[in-house]
Structure 1
C-alpha cells in the first residue's frame, strides 16, 4: 500500500525527524528506524480509516485505534520488543506534535506496549577480553594501523565508549587527558577517566600515524586518510573472534558491556557505572547486575562440591 499524507501531516513528520536529529542527537540509523515506525503507523491508519492521513486524523486517534494497531503488528509476526519500539516512536512523535498543536494526546500516550523479557548484555569474560587486547595488533600489516587498532579496542574496553564515540574523537585528543568529556546519546555529556594503557595506546598510534592529525580532523583514520569506518572495526572484531574461537556476540559493543560488567564484578558502584556509561536511567545500568549474578550462579554450579556429586 502506498502512503499518502496531507502536506501538513508530512511537514510535521519531517519536522519531528529534524527535531530528533538536531535536539535529541539521534543517529542516522535511529532516524531511519523512527521513520519506518511512523510510516507503518500511518499506513495502518490509512487502511483502518480508509482515508489518507491528515493532521485532523492524527489528532482524532483513539484508544481503540491504538489497540487495533498493536494487535495488527502482533498478528503480522512482530516481536514484543519490536512492537514496544514502534510504540515508543509513535508516542515520542505525539508528545512533540501535541505540544505544537495544543491537543490532548492521552489516547496515544497511555497505550501499553506488550511486556517482553529484556535480553541481557553478552560481555566477554576477563580472559577473553585480555586475549582480544593481546591479539588485536596482529590483524593489520602496517605498524601504524596495528597501533590504531590497539588504541581503538583499548578505548572501547578501557573506557566503556560506544564505537561512535571513539571514532568521533578528533586530533585534539591525540594526547588523551586524564579525564575525557564525552558527548553521548541525546547530547548528554559525561566524564570518563582514562586509563594509562589507553593514553599510551593512543599516543603510540598518533606517533606512527602518517596522516596529519589536526585538532578538527578525525583522530582515527582509515588506510587512505578518511575517518575510520565502524564496519572496519566490526570486521576487526570478527577476525579476532574467529581466531580466538569466541562467539558471534563478541562485537565492538560487547567491549562496552564487558567494561561495565567487569567493573561491577570488581566492586564498582552502580551509580558510578551509570555515570561512566552515560545511561539516563539507572534501570538501564541495572541489567549488568543480572549479568553478574548469572556469572556467579554459573561458577557456583560448576565449582560447588555438591554439584559434583
Structure 2
C-alpha cells in the first residue's frame, strides 16, 4: 500500500471514526493527532523519509520500539506520556486492520511492543490546610472572586478533572439541599453523577444568580469568559492561571502550598480525604471515574500516614511480653 492509502486512512480515522463512531471528545482526538504527528516527525528525522514516502511498510515492531526510545531519551517525555503516544498508534493500526485485512499483520506486529516501564509516583495531593487556604484566597467581594471560589471548591468537592468542570452546563447541576449533585462527563464520554456538599450547593446557587440570572439556557457553558461581548467557554489554561494566581496570594498565610499547582492536586486531595475517612476503594474508584481500580489503589499505597496509624493501633492491642529471665537483677543484666 502506498502513501496515499496511508494518509487516506489517517484522515478517515481522525475525522470520521474517532468523532462519529467512537464519539471521542475533541481533546482526546487532538491527543491522538499529536501522537501521529510525532510519529511522522520521528520517521522523517531518523529514517530521512519525506511525508510522501511514508507508508505502512515504514511502521513495524522495530520502528515503534525506536519511537518509544526516541520519545524518552531525545524528547525527555515521561514513560506514561510515551506510552500514551504508542497506545494511540496501536489504536490507529487496529482501525486500519479492520478496514483492510492486508494490514492485520502490521497491527499484530506493533501490538507486541511493550510499554515503557513507568515508575509509580505517589499522587501529589495538596494538604487539607492548603486546600482550605486556596478556596478562601479569591474572596467573594467581586464577581470574578465568586467565580474562582466556586470553580476551586467544585473541583475539590467533586474530585473533577478540569475538562469535566469546563464541560458542565446548568442542566448538569442540582443544588437541592441534602441531595445536591453534579453530572460529570469524563473520558470516553462516560457520565457519572457525584454528590456534593450543601456548602458547595449554596456557592453554586449564588454563582447561578450572578452569572446565569433568570432562566439559564440548559446547554450553555456553566463557567465562561466574555470575549467581544459574547459568552465563550473557559479553557484549561484559564483554570491553571487562576489557580496559580490565587495560590500565590494564599501562600503568604499557608506555606504548605507548592510553588506550582494544578487542578489534579485538588482531585488527589479529595481522594486522599475520602480514603482516610474510611471510604472503600471501589467507591472512590466510581467517584473519580477510574476505569480500573488499580489506578485508584495508588492512593492507598501512597498514604504512609494511614499505614503508620494502623501499625500504632495494632501495637496498642499487643500484650506486653512476659519477662524471659527470672532471678536477681545482676544476673538479668
TM-score by length of 1: 0.81
Partner Cα separation in structure 1 for residue 109 and residue 163 of structure 2: 37
- Structure 1 99/173 Cα, relative in aligned 2: closer, same or farther at 3 Å? closer
Partner Cα separation in structure 1 for residue 6 and residue 26 of structure 2: 23
Q: Look up the match of 1:264.
A: 275
Contact 1:24 1:185 in 2 (8 A): no
Partner Cα separation in structure 2 for residue 264 and residue 134 of structure 1: 24
Gaps of 5+ in 1: 301-309
Deviations 1:248-304 (A, max 9, x none): 342222211111111111111111111111111111111212332367669x9xxxx
Partner Cα separation in structure 2 for residue 294 and residue 93 of structure 1: 43
Contact 2:161 2:267 in 1 (8 A): yes
Count of residue pairs brought into register by the alignment: 289
Q: Which has the larger radius of gyration?
A: 2
Deviation at 1:77, TM superposition (A): 4.8
Contact 2:167 2:185 in 1 (8 A): no
RMSD of aligned Cα (Å): 2.9
4+ long deviations beyond 6 Å: none
Matched, 1:222 2:210: no
Relative contact order higher in (CA < 8 Å, ≥ 6 apart): 1
Deviation at 1:27, TM superposition (A): 3.9
Deviation at 1:197, TM superposition (A): 1.3
Matched, 1:34 2:32: yes
Deviation at 1:49, TM superposition (A): 8.6
The residue correspondences of 1:78-117 to structure 2 (distance < 5 A) are 78-79=76-77, 81=79, 82-102=81-101, 103-104=104-105, 105-117=107-119
Deviations 1:40-72 (A, max 9, x none): 3235446549671224x26xx443333344444
Partner Cα separation in structure 2 for residue 94 and residue 257 of structure 1: 34
Q: Which secondary structure does the structure 2 equivalent of 1:122 belong to? A: coil
Matched, 1:193 2:190: no
Q: Of 216, 223, 237, which aligns to 1:231?
A: 237
Q: Which secondary structure does the structure 2 equivalent of 1:216 belong to? A: coil
Gaps of 5+ in 2: 252-256, 312-333
Contact 2:123 2:302 in 1 (8 A): yes
